[in-house]
Chain A
Amino acid sequence: MCGIAGIVRWRSGETIDPATIRGMVDSLAHRGPDDVGIVCEGGVAMGMRRLAIQDLSPAGHQPMTSDDGNITVVFNGELYDHLDLRSRLLATGQRFRGTSDTETLLHGVARLGLDALLGQVSGMYAFAVLDRRRRRLSLVRDGFGVKPLYLRRGQGQLAFASEVRAFAHDGRGKPGANPGFVASYLHIGWVPSPQTAFAGVTKLTPGTILELDLDSGSETTREFYRVTPEVLRAGLDDDQLLELFRERLNWVVRRQLISDVPVGMFLSGGLDSSSILTVATPHLAHAPRSFSVGFQAAGQRDETEAAAVIARSVGSPHTILSLDPSTLGDLAPLQAALEEPIADSAIVPLWHLCKGTAAHVKVALSGEGGDEALGGYTRYFWGYAAAALSPGGTLAAAGSLTRGLAALPAFSPRSRGVLNLARRVGKFASTVRLPEAERYLSWFQIFNRQDRTDLLGEAPDEVAPRVQQIYDRARADGLDVVQSMQMVDMSNMLLDNLLVKADKLSMAQGLEVRVPLLDRKFVELGLALPIHAKIALRGNKPLLRRLLAERLPRSITRQGKRGFELPVDRWFRDSSTALLRQRMSSGALVRNLGFSAPAVQAVIDRHLGGADLGRQMFALAMLDIWAAQNA
């Protein structure tokens, strides 16, 4: 795991000063404190900062060049099954200097070509391959976008980097703000790919190869991976499905334990991280350390108690990192690490979790992606029900009932018991008759259309058409309602929110986070599972619950889905955030992004007046900090 960067200039006579690539690479030092390397020749330069995980010896140094001097690679990420390919290369006489996956990649590209190689490796990665003979630079990003790769084009140059901050040193000046993202951000709370919050900077689409001609700067892009459901044997009963699932989980977790340094585990107390810990432990010489994060105050609802039970059950030395619930703390360092704003208060505990974990291990496995892979979000249940009730659905006749239910008052998201059920039913009923893309977006919506217009004026919001496009493609591929939602999630919230924060917040601390439940073999199986194996009245992910019931107490396996509930609403009413509130209505939001000061103040006033607008306040606060830092 590393930070990589590079530049190609194709204007005649324009070369690159080694200090330029060095500056880019040094700006990524937090991603790779163990080693640094650059290659700079004429109009091409590449470099990397290394966090040494596989092959700690100098043989793992990058950039790495083939024996004949033709191919050079810089690689960020992990290839979990590279030894399979290595065995094939060894049999054909290839010699290796060390044991790193980068070296397998290098020789694999040289021997097989890039496309053939990509068909033979699994992992999370972003890398660049310089082919001197063909005068090509190829940029590649893994199929789910676990690892980032940013691009900046212009003035006869293409620069790439693991983080946007590196472009400030690419010789073309610091990227400015891209005001075009703000409307989308206010709608859903993140910056949808491929655009970014920065002008002229985009993200390479996951599962694609960008090939650049070194002499002309002409580009071609091609897809090398698109997730599709596995074809399951016909007639599998539930027990056979469980066995298949067990073997697959065992496989993907086991292969992601490949490491020359100790591996730790994020343990939330939920099903996904629990399953990873229980499956991984027998494969390791010692039970891995596990880490969870919670609140200091007694009586606060968090999952650390459940996490401690799970850790004890497998003998894992467990560390609970405690947050002080009385204060929001300083969000500026988090936003600086994220680079782009994300309106998700879960970044606060994740930041502390990464920090606390990095003090003990360099690698941690996380359950991220499990909900997308296995249909774990409750919205899959509601989405399935809505599709059945909507016109043309199997229960369309009962759909008219939902009109009455839609009139239920909008209770607070913090309601409990009957009120919470009424809130969910009412919210569900109000979405039944919406087009599916709008229904999907309604589950994330931070500011409604009117609020967005009030705050920002009329601005194009490209989210809905993009989501609809993914739905259309899923339908064209013959996917069912739940599979379509899984696909939409993977290309939206997972890609642009969950994976961004997992990468940026961990790498800011020099910690590698692995996501075994996003192993392509696991996701392909998850997509293929029948609907009843994904969603159920007694809790989604029934297969995972059955599997864990063999090892863990019922209290764990029967629990409902819980998010990490931060008291953001309370924080934004507290006197400790008074300065932040003041800044929101008169600071960078208004000055740099052109927000309407009265509209911002109106949101604040409504919140202080008792409306539960914690999410909206958090979204504005993060955007304000981002604008102050970047716009």
Chain B
Amino acid sequence: MTESRHHWAAPLRVCLLHNYRESEQISMKLYAERLGASLTEEGLTVRHLLPPTMLSSQGRSFWAGKKLDSYAGRFLYYPHAVRSMPPSDVYHIVDHGHAHLLRSLDPRRTVITCHDLMLLVLASGRLGRRLVSGVALEVFRQLAGTLRGAAAVIADSAQTRRDLVQFADVDPARIEVIFPGMNQPFARDPAARDEGRRRWGLEGCRVVLQVGNAFYKNLEGSLRIIARLRRRGVDVHFLRGGLRLTPEQRQLATGLGIADFVRDLGPLPDRELSMLYNAADVLLYPSLYEGFGWPPLEAMACGTPVVCSRAGSLAEVVGPAALTADPEDEERLADHVAAVLSDVGLAAGLREHGLRHAATFAWSRAAREVAGLYQRVRESA
């Protein structure tokens, strides 16, 4: 690690601007914390700006108070806090949802990370006909437009970079694709596999896992694929981690005749997520879109073969370490799952590629690339 450190002419001071009420967005909190820690190891001076909430937890316990805190705190109170902080060489807004802070900063020294432009993707019709709230869309459009003024934008993936150009008209020369590092320590753990299978009553079963909550994770597609596999005579169980199935999804499972083979675990704490990945034989991830897509990498880090769609960023993120297909091609995805379950050599190959691939998503690597970008921003400011 020490060998790869940058040796700056003058120590570079960076301020990481966390999300408002970040405890409600754990992934963004972890992004800022992990990046900050790795940047420090790279020899940078890192300051974190974590704004206190405008209202106390008591004030936010009412609906109106929560809304007030959400909008006024984020769009008025937080910018005020930004204006009063001491100067840095570079400012980094870690989530494009807070791009409005750019107006309170020196834009020539400000970097913003964009994780995805989901609302604009939805509004474009790329995912078919989806209803999007007009207010939310307008707010998001304004934020996305603000990105154009930043010195640089970090895109989590080449897909997000393309979306930034297409939907937010950001100059491609100002966008740098930097894959983030993995936030949680996932690892292959045979003991966890056994424990998980025992706990969830899956001993001796062939288990296909899906995690994630948003509609674009395509849980319905997964259910249909499981049904397709069972119709072919593949004795497979579906393990589901995340929000509970909706009544419609349960009805779909029943209609497909697979309700008895679905284990709906609901939300799990992080420490059990690793057990979940280890317990599965395959992660099935047929997303309709992703701006990045963590679960396939997390599964790979646990040595679990991955079958996923190629939608959005997934193809670039999983690289050559997963079996991929179009999310609409449920037949092909089912073929892939069946092949992994029946072909020991194929599963072993995927496991080996996956472990190697997941290891490349380290924060040390991401921090080196981010630090290089900061340096270029400082030089041209």
Residues of A within 8 A of B (CB): 81, 83-84, 87-88, 90-93, 120, 243, 246-248, 250-251, 254-255, 278, 282-286, 521, 550-551
Contacts and interface: CB of A to CB of B under 8 A. Distances in A.
Contact of A285 (B121, B128, B165, B315): B165
B166 A285 contact: yes
Contacts of B322: 87, 91
B339 interface: yes
B126 A91 contact: no
Contact of B128 (A88, A91, A247, A284): A247
Interface of B: 121, 124-126, 128-129, 162, 165-166, 310, 315, 320-326, 328-329, 332, 335-336, 339, 345-346, 349-350, 353
Contacts of A286: 166
A550 B346 CA distance: 44
Contacts of A278: 125
Contacts of B346: 88, 91-92
Q: Tell me which of B121, B324, B328 has the highest count of chain A C-beta atoms within 10 A of its own C-beta.
A: B328
Contact of B315 (A83, A91, A93): A83
Given A84-B329, A247-B328, A250-B328, A91 B129 contact: no
Contacts of A81: 325-326, 329, 332
A521 B165 CA distance: 32
Given A84-B324, A88-B323, A283 B126 contact: yes
Q: Tell me which of A251, A255, A285 has the highest count of chain B C-beta atoms within 10 A of its own C-beta.
A: A285
Contact of A93 (B328, B335, B349): B349
B276 to A, nearest CB: 23
Contacts of B339: 88
Contact of A87 (B124, B324, B329): B324
Contact of B328 (A120, A251, A284, A285): A251
Query: Secondary structure at chain A's binding surface: helix, strand, loop or mixed?
Result: helix
B349 A91 contact: yes
Contacts of B345: 92
For the complex of A and B, the 8 pairs showing the least CB-CB separation, nearest first, are A251-B328, A282-B126, A282-B124, A90-B320, A87-B324, A84-B325, A91-B349, A87-B323
A315 to B, nearest CB: 11
A12 B339 CA distance: 45
A84 B349 contact: no
B329 A251 contact: yes
Contacts of B328: 247-248, 250-251
A246 B127 CA distance: 10
Contacts of A90: 320, 353
A116 to B, nearest CB: 11
B381 to A, nearest CB: 29
Given A83-B310, A83-B315, A282-B125, A88 B336 contact: yes
Contacts of B350: 91
Contact of A254 (B129, B166, B326): B326
Contacts of B329: 81, 84, 251, 521
10 contacts: A84-B310, A84-B324, A84-B332, A87-B323, A87-B324, A88-B336, A88-B339, A248-B328, A255-B326, A283-B126
Nearest to B221: A247
A91 B325 contact: no
A250 B325 contact: no
B320 A87 contact: yes
B133 to A, nearest CB: 18
Given A90-B353, A248-B328, A282-B124, 14 more contacts: A81-B325, A83-B310, A83-B324, A84-B326, A87-B324, A87-B325, A90-B320, A91-B321, A91-B350, A92-B346, A92-B349, A120-B335, A255-B326, A282-B126
A250 B289 CA distance: 13
B124 to A, nearest CB: 4
Q: Tell me which of B121, B124, B126, B339 has the highest count of chain A C-beta atoms within 10 A of its own C-beta.
A: B126
B247 to A, nearest CB: 18
Contacts of B128: 243, 246-247, 250
Contacts of A284: 166
Contacts of A247: 128, 328
B178 to A, nearest CB: 20
B324 A285 contact: no
Contacts of A248: 328
Nearest to B331: A521
A521 B332 CA distance: 12
B323 A91 contact: yes
B112 to A, nearest CB: 20
Contacts of A250: 128, 328
A550 B129 contact: yes
Contacts of B324: 83-84, 87
Nearest to B255: A233
A550 B336 CA distance: 35
Contacts of B315: 83
B162 to A, nearest CB: 5
Q: Tell me which of B121, B165, B326 has the highest count of chain A C-beta atoms within 10 A of its own C-beta.
A: B326
A90 B350 CA distance: 9
A283 B324 CA distance: 19
Contacts of B323: 84, 87-88, 91
A246 B129 contact: yes
A251 B165 CA distance: 23
Contacts of A550: 129
Nearest to B125: A282
A285 B162 contact: yes
Contacts of A93: 349
A93 B324 CA distance: 16
Nearest to A287: B166
A407 to B, nearest CB: 50
Contact of B326 (A251, A282, A285, A551): A251
A487 B246 CA distance: 42
A248 B124 CA distance: 18
A87 B309 CA distance: 11
Nearest to B327: A251
